[in-house]
Structure 1
Amino acid sequence: MIPVPSGVRVWLAGGVTDMRCGMNSLALKVQEGLGRDPHAGDLYVFRGRRGDMVKCLWHDGLGMSLYAKRLERGRFIWPSPADGAVAISASQLAYLLDAIDWRNPQQTWRPRSAG
């Protein structure tokens, strides 16, 4: 799990991204494509064409970090390209990285009584 402090905004870049891109290329996509400052402390998440890999770009105030995750099975749930950049919470990011539908997570069943 990425140690995302509270208060950090998480943005999903709608559409697909070339997963060969590194930090500089993704930072340029944030700046020019999304119109945001990649060094402002927000976390940006990009998805590959097949949907089984994401890259997270984050500037923590000291330097830029690039995280990657590839699923062995399944695909990441992603917004449509028409949505543009979608803001999600840090807990929704945790769901996304665990390959759970972050849009509508299901609460587990809890028993009402012990007996």
Structure 2
Amino acid sequence: MLIPAQVWLVVEPVDMRLGIDGLSAHIQQALGRPPCDGTAYAFRNRRGSRLKLLQWDGTGVWLSQRRLHQGHFRWPNADDRLFTLTQAQWQWLIAGIDWQRLEARPMGHWKV
């Protein structure tokens, strides 16, 4: 699998029966973005145990799927339809680790 430079998480769950065309149409119609803009889009099912990644590599489209046997993928609880991740956060996410808890708060929020 290609390692994406930028990953956008589609916050709302999707039907995992969708393939390349269905997910591309979802990106265009529901999110108003071009699916072949060089970024990768990650989708999850309602239970959060399956993930699909749609990625354009300049020549064609890749569709990868990952399933966790235990637990679920940690997804943001955002009001936005899309949420972007760094490469490090993406690696933690696909490993099934809570990537949201891996970064410390800035020093300004700490009180003694």
Q: TM-score range by the shorter chain?
A: 0.7 to 0.9
For structure 1, the 5+ residue unaligned runs are 108-115
Write out per-residue CA displacement over residues 21-43 of structure 1, whole angstroms, 9 at most, x where no aligned residue.
00000011111111111011100
Q: Which runs of 4+ in 1 moved over 4 A?
A: none
Q: Please point out which of 58, 62, 70 is paired with 1:61.
A: 58
Percent identity for Structure 1 against Structure 2 = 38
In the superposition, the TM-score normalised over structure 2's length comes to 0.85
Greater helix share, structure number: 2
How much has 1:106 moved relative to structure 2?
6.5
Q: Give 2:35's aligned residue.
A: 38
**Secondary structure of the structure 2 residue equivalent to 1:82:** coil
CA 1:23–1:31: 2 relative to 1, 3 Å = same
CA deviation after TM superposition for structure 1 residue 18, in Å = 0.3
Letter in 2 for 1:38: P
CA distance in 2, matches of 1:3, 1:64: 11
Alignment of 1:6-17 (within 5 A): 8-17=5-14
Aligned to 1:100: 97
Unaligned runs of 5+ residues in structure 2 are 105-112
Give the alignment's TM-score, normalised by structure 1.
Answer: 0.83
Deviates more, 1:25-34 or 1:80-89: 80-89
CA–CA distance in 2 between the matches of 1:31 and 1:106?
Answer: 32
Mapped to 1, the partners of 2:86 and 2:34 lie a distance apart of 19
Task: Report the alpha carbon displacement of residue 75 of structure 1 after superposing the two structures with TM.
Answer: 0.6
Distance 1:49 1:78, change over 3 A: same
